[in-house]
């Protein structure tokens, strides 16, 4: 896979430059099955050796639940035995503008024998990207990130929503975010005050799937550092108030072939020898991609919204994606198609999946969405008619007539949907699926008997 054969000469040169620039330590970071970033800090002088041999981490990180309890219910990790080697992707290494003296790199997991670990979440996405490439398909991927800003233990701005006035008191934080993102090589499309009290949102520019997932982790590091330096604290949790608006981390994807966006109304005839017509303005092959995502949405939701408060967030009327349906520019739709146009061009067309938040591992979720979309393309699926309304305002009979159903409402229900879906569960290796499922059931057991407030409070600062 590209990026893992760290070139020794290039690594030596990078190390020398880092030392000259005053960098003293490098964070090797990955995300676990709860979406929580984990890491090891290594001295900069050790980078050449670490790039060759890695640093040791326990394989049990695969079965850490959201509360750092280690579950041994998956037979493959039933004991404390086992070690992995964590290797940086040197070409993705970035000095951290907001953390002088430190750098950051995404990390991959290998066995001591040099084989890729079956538990490595990034590995799942690499395999889906490779599978798509065999079919001549590439992807553009972007993320929207939401967070609630706190200062001195209180929400930092009361609104009004979407108003520049709301962020005047946060000018120092906003400026630091823009500066640090630029310095860390991250491009922001836009930043604003979101709908909830104290809430901000920013979107990252689209790139290839693996870089997009890496960038999502780097964005978290950058945001946390900027906030801490200025006396703020950010919560990325799916909910900070059981009755309030949640933080969604929406995933945008678009499939491409031969530099053409397959979601656009024209341009896929060469890919589709059958000459199938466009579907509701969406290109025929892109419509298959969309239909595949819809077909596997319950299982995707188990990966994109895996935590206990994730399921509390998935409520009608909160732009959270509670029902399984799609719409064109319908912000209540769980799967939303964003159109291109004269101003935006065909390259802008993308599919937004809203059943996602910071508790999702970005590599696993992207892999699940891509795998589902490829299945839809392969089976020539056609999506149902788009919905422009909010099915949450309909009667149960109206929803049933339109084929609109609620997504799984609990962690066990979502986990069962994942197990029953051969395509989405097939994104995982057998061991990775077993570990992921064990962690979800451990989380559910932890939540048993706790109030919604207790469940929300325990996740406030995890991500």
Q: Report the pLDDT averaged over residues 49-70.
A: 97
pLDDT digits (tens, 9 = 90+) for 250-265: 999 999 999 999 999 8
Q: In which band, very low, low, confident or very high, does the pLDDT at 267 lie, cut at 50, 70 and 90? A: very low
Strand partners, 406: 323
Q: Assess whether pLDDT exceeds 80 at residue 269.
A: no
Please give the pLDDT value at position 427. Answer: 98
Question: What pLDDT is stored for residue 318 in this prediction?
Answer: 76
Q: Whole-prediction pTM value?
A: 0.96
pLDDT at 274 over 80: no
Q: What is the mean pLDDT of residues 327-344?
A: 92
pLDDT (mean) for 309-320: 86
The pLDDT assigned to 266 comes to: 67
Q: How many CB atoms lie within 10 A of CB 190?
A: 8
Given a contact cutoff of 8 angstroms between Cβ atoms, the answer to whether 92 and 212 are in contact is no
| pLDDT of 281 over the 90 cut | no
82-102 residues labelled b (16+ CB within 10 A) or e (exposed):
eebbbbbbbebbbbbbbbeeb
Secondary structure E strands in 78-221: 83-88, 94-95, 102-110, 138-151, 154-155, 188-193, 199-204
Given phi > 0 = left and psi -120 to 50 = alpha, else beta, which region is 75?
A: alpha
> Which of the four pLDDT bands, split at 50, 70 and 90, describes residue 158?
confident
pLDDT band at 415 (very low <50, low <70, confident <90, very high): very high
What average pLDDT does range 288-296 have in this prediction?
Answer: 97
Q: Calculate mean pLDDT across residues 144-161.
A: 94
According to the model, what pLDDT value does residue 161 have?
Answer: 87
Q: What pLDDT is recorded for position 154?
A: 96
- Confidence (pLDDT) at 2: 39
Give the confidence band of 376 by pLDDT, cuts at 50, 70, 90: very high
Q: Residue 129: in which H helix or E strand, if any?
A: helix 121-134
Give residue for tokens 């981490």: 57
Q: By CB neighbour count within 10 A (0-12 exposed, 13-18 middle, 19+ buried), where does 320 fall?
A: buried
pLDDT value of position 1: 40
Binned at pLDDT 50, 70 and 90, residue 21 comes out as very high
Residue 269's Cβ-count burial label (10 Å; 0-12, 13-18, 19+) is middle
pLDDT of residue 461: 98
Per-residue confidence band for 270, with pLDDT thresholds at 50, 70 and 90: very low
In the predicted model, is pLDDT for residue 273 greater than 80?
no
pLDDT (0 to 100) of residue 80: 87
The whole-number pLDDT of residue 315 equals 84
Average per-residue pLDDT in the chain? 94
**Would you say residue 176 has pLDDT above 70?**
yes
Q: Is omega for the bond preceding 160 within 30 degrees of 0, making it cis? A: yes
Percentage of residues in the chain with pLDDT exceeding 90?
A: 89
Which residue segments constitute the domains of the chain, with CATH numbers given? Answer: 8-117 (3.10.20.70), 127-457 (3.30.590.10)
Q: How much is the average pLDDT of 189-205?
A: 96
The arithmetic mean of pLDDT across residues 66-82, rounded, is: 94
């Amino acid at each position: 896979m590209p990026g893992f054969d760290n070139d020794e000469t290039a690594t030596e040169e990078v190390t020398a430059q880092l030392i000259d620039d005053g960098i003293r330590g490098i964070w090797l970071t990955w995300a676990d099955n709860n979406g929580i970033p984990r890491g090891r800090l290594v001295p900069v002088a050790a980078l050449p050796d670490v790039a060759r041999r890695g640093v040791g981490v326990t394989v049990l990180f695969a079965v850490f639940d959201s509360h750092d309890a280690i579950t041994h219910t998956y037979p493959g990790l039933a004991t404390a035995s086992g070690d992995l080697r964590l290797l940086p992707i040197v070409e993705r290494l970035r000095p951290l503008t907001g953390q002088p003296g430190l750098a950051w790199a995404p990390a991959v997991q290998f066995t001591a024998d040099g084989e890729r670990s079956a538990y490595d979440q990034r590995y799942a996405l690499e395999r889906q990207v490779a599978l798509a490439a065999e079919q001549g398909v590439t992807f553009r991927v972007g993320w929207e990130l939401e967070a609630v800003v706190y200062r001195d233990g209180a929400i930092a701005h009361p609104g009004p929503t979407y108003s520049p006035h709301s962020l005047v008191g946060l000018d120092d934080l906003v400026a630091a975010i823009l500066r640090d993102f630029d310095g860390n090589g991250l491009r922001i499309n836009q930043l604003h005050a979101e709908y909830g009290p104290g809430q901000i949102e920013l979107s990252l520019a689209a790139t290839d799937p693996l870089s997009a997932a890496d960038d999502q982790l780097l964005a978290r590091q950058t945001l946390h550092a900027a906030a801490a330096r200025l006396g703020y604290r950010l919560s990325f949790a799916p909910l900070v108030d059981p009755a309030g608006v949640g933080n969604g981390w929406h995933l945008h994807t678009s499939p491409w072939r031969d530099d053409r966006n397959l979601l656009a109304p024209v341009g896929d005839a060469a890919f589709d020898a059958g000459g199938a017509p466009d579907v509701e303005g969406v290109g025929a092959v892109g419509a298959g991609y969309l239909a595949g995502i819809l077909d596997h949405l319950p299982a995707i939701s188990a990966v994109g919204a895996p935590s206990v408060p994730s399921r509390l967030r998935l409520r009608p009327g909160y732009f959270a994606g509670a029902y399984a349906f799609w719409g064109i520019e319908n912000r209540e739709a769980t799967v939303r198609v964003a159109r291109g146009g004269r101003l935006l061009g065909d390259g802008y067309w993308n599919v937004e999946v809203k059943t996602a938040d910071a508790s999702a591992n970005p590599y696993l979720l992207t892999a699940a969405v891509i795998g589902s979309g490829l299945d839809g393309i392969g089976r020539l699926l056609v999506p149902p008619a788009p919905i422009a309304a909010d099915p949450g305002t309909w009667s149960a009979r109206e929803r049933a007539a339109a084929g609109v159903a609620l997504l799984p409402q609990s962690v066990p229900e979502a986990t069962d949907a994942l197990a029953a879906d051969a395509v989405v569960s097939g994104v995982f290796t057998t061991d990775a699926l077993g570990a992921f499922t064990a962690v979800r059931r451990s989380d559910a057991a932890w939540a048993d008997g706790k109030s919604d407030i207790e469940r929300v409070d325990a996740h406030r600062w995890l991500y």
